[in-house]
């Protein structure tokens, strides 16, 4: 079973040909962002994402979109064919003209590099009751290392070169046996491929079942040597994010099986060069 990693921010009703997405948290901003992205993609990358069909508003906004063919990716390693198809889909997304993205009023993606550092500082700071952990010493060491890393991460200078989807957990990729398509653009925005791919391969829902092969996906997208280096530099940042999310008392701690926090602690330590 794929681990649950976040609370639901929307409710989806699936019909024969349409999907109705009702936004629950930060609803106006999320609905506006998704509508703008889907409208833009319908023009510049048709077929990559659902066509937006209409908007409704009651106590919460609703975006109505077409239902795409295919099924969500299973929580298991992708085949080579799937990886190539997903790489081609992401490349189509990244190749949407940057001027068109900006003209559509689409701003930075949720949790860009600077914002991520800003939120991780308090999340990792302070005292944490680690007694519920299976290995409190390992988790404490990882939290201390993550706190030190975030304080002086030495991250690459941010670049804004593309539209990124931000949240690419496997449930947001539809596979019809030939083509990969993308859904869920409520967190999407201006970004760069290296940062996006670091996010995707470190997402807990994809990392634990090994859905994405980092090197293979980077190759399928067409990252050059500089892009791969930047991607690797960003991966510990997302490793620290998931470590913070999995600390006792947090939502991801409650939604994932015992031992997940220790697994993430060891993974972060490896990413950050602590052996």
The pLDDT tens digits for 72-99 are: 999 999 999 999 999 999 999 999 999 9
pLDDT of residue 6: 41
- pLDDT category of residue 160 using cuts at 50, 70 and 90: very high
- As a whole number, the mean pLDDT across the chain is 93
- pLDDT category of residue 274 using cuts at 50, 70 and 90: confident
Instruction: Check pLDDT > 50 for residue 4.
Output: no
Pick the CATH number of 69-113+149-271 from 3.90.1200.10, 3.50.50.60, 1.10.3720.10, 3.20.20.80: 3.90.1200.10
pTM: 0.94
Q: Average pLDDT in the 169-183 region?
A: 97
Distance CA(78)–CA(88), nearest Å, equals 14
- pLDDT category of residue 26 using cuts at 50, 70 and 90: low
Angle (nearest 5°) at CA 91 between 87 and 92:
120
- pLDDT category of residue 275 using cuts at 50, 70 and 90: low
Per residue in 49-76, pLDDT (tens digit) is 999 999 988 778 999 999 999 999 999 9
Residue 258: Cβ-neighbour burial (10 angstroms; 0-12, 13-18, 19+): exposed
Instruction: Check pLDDT > 60 for residue 5.
Output: no
Q: Average pLDDT in the 197-216 region?
A: 98
pLDDT of residue 28: 79
Q: Average pLDDT in the 252-271 region?
A: 97
Percent of the chain at pLDDT exceeding 70: 95
pLDDT of residue 214: 98
Domain boundaries along the sequence of the chain: 69-113+149-271
pLDDT of residue 1: 25
- pLDDT category of residue 203 using cuts at 50, 70 and 90: very high
What b/e sequence results for 116-148 when a residue is b if at least 16 CB atoms lie within 10 Å of its CB, and e otherwise? bbeebeebbeeebebeebeebebbeebbebbbe
Query: Are the C-beta atoms of 119 and 196 separated by less than 8 Å?
Result: no
């Amino acid at each position: 079973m794929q681990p649950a990693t976040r609370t639901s921010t929307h409710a989806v009703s699936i019909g024969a040909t349409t999907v109705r997405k009702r936004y629950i948290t930060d609803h106006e901003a999320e609905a506006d962002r998704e509508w703008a992205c889907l409208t833009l993609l319908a023009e510049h990358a048709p077929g990559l994402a659902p066509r937006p069909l209409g908007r409704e508003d009651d106590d919460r906004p609703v975006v109505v979109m077409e239902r795409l063919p295919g099924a969500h990716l299973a929580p298991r390693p992708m085949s080579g064919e799937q990886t190539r198809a997903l790489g081609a889909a992401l490349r189509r997304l990244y190749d949407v003209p940057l001027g068109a993205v900006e003209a559509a009023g689409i701003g930075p993606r949720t949790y860009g590099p600077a914002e991520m550092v800003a939120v991780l500082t308090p999340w990792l700071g302070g005292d944490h009751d680690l007694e519920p952990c299976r290995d409190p010493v390992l988790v404490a060491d990882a939290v201390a290392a993550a706190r030190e890393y975030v304080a002086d991460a030495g991250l690459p200078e941010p670049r804004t070169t593309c539209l990124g989807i931000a949240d690419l957990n496997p449930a947001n990729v539809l596979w019809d046996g030939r083509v990969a398509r993308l859904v869920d653009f409520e967190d999407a925005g201006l970004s760069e491929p290296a940062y996006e791919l670091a996010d995707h391969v470190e997402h807990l829902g994809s990392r634990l079942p090994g859905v994405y092969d980092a090197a293979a996906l980077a190759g399928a997208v067409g990252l050059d040597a500089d892009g791969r280096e930047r991607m690797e530099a960003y991966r510990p940042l997302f490793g620290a994010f998931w470590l913070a999310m999995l600390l006792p008392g947090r939502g991801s701690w409650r939604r994932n099986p015992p031992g997940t926090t220790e697994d993430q602690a060891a993974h972060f330590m490896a990413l950050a060069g602590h052996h």
